[in-house]
Structure 1
Amino acid sequence: MKLKNRAFFYWCETRAGKKRQTTRKGLIMTDETRQIGFIPMSKNGRRHDKRLLDKVDIIRHIPPEVTIWADTGFQGIDKQHPNTQIPKKGTRKRPLSPEQKQENKIISGIRITVEHAIAGIKRLGCMTQILRNRRPFIDDTFLLLSAGLWNFHLRTA
């Protein structure tokens, strides 16, 4: 009976999203050439991006002269690293000014290289399909394998 309760607890803890699917979330750090430099172990999909980044504690290892281009899921990272660029968020009461919109376009134009790297990882079919394997850490193994293949593709192309 205890094993069943433990499995149910794990199932409840890993559910995330609108449809309450069991998901995993990971961080990816890339450079301007779309090379993947750092991938920590993935965690439950319910965990917030900033909380996951704080748990990994990689920010303190990045030199201050390196610029971090993050998305809005990492609000508060600018307090940990002095050279951080995050898009501004507008509200209904305070919409963004045209200068802020232009700045957000510049930031998203630079951040698109990360999205290209994520698309390169998804070229391996197992990263886009539902993972039915129950082996521990097999999702991290697939992620590292697909990231290595993507980096190899970038070096040889």
Structure 2
Amino acid sequence: MPQKFRSKGLKKQKKSYSGKKKVHTFKVQAIIHYKTQQILSLRGCHGAIHDFKLFKRHLNQIPMGAFILVDKGYQGIDTVYSNSLLPLKAKKRGNLHSELKKYNREINKRRIGIEHVFGRLKTFKILAGRYRNRGKRLGLRFNLIAGIYNRELSKK
């Protein structure tokens, strides 16, 4: 059986390197108002940080009593923030019961509006494709695009 080891001569990877995707990535987490579809807050970080860890870091920025809809990447959110709702995951080699599938479908019907916001933001090609500019400026550019999106939304 081959042994795994590290060579001392390897260069250190940057913080933005995602071992899962084998590329340098960035992650942006958005807080979106459910009814108005406005972007309230954006938080960006390097791609190697898990979604739930990023959520816990910026937990103080969520308005008190706000109800949160999240995806399956936030398993365990109910221990940190009780006023939240997330879809249920099936066990590794099992299937969900039909009632639980209906439950997930109802949650996803409410989350689809939020996913549409991300789709509208990707009309700005700088967010849809490979980001070729400075990594430090991604947060600034994402905030500018979110501001343009909110402005266009308020005109309607």
Q: TM-score range by the shorter chain?
A: 0.7 to 0.9
User: Which structure 2 residues correspond to residues 1-157 of structure 1 after superposition, within 5 A?
Assistant: 8-11=11-14, 13-16=15-18, 18-32=20-34, 33-40=36-43, 42-58=44-60, 61-64=62-65, 66-134=66-134, 137-157=136-156
Q: Name the count of aligned residue pairs.
A: 145
TM-score, scaled relative to structure 1: 0.82
CA 1:17 to 1:118, structure 2 compared with 1: closer, same or farther past 3 Å?
farther
CA contact (8 A) 1:71 1:87 kept: yes
State whether residues 121 and 143 of structure 1, in contact with CA within 8 Å, keep that contact through their aligned partners in structure 2.
no
In the TM superposition, residue 138 of structure 1 has moved relative to its aligned partner by: 1.0
Runs of 5+ in structure 2 lacking a partner?
1-10
TM-score by length of structure 2 reads 0.83
State how far apart, in whole Å, the 2-side matches of 1:77 and 1:55 are.
13
Gaps of at least 5 residues in structure 1 are: 1-7
Deviant stretches of 4+, over 4 Å: none
Cα deviation, residue 137, structure 1: 2.4
Equivalent pair of 1:15/1:46 in contact (CA under 8 Å): yes
RMSD: 1.9
Sequence identity (%): 28
2: distance between equivalents of 1:156 and 1:37? 17
- If asked which structure has higher relative contact order (CA below 8 Å, sep 6+), I would say 1
Deviation sequence 1:86-124 (CA, Å, 0-9, x none): 100012554211111001001011111111111122121
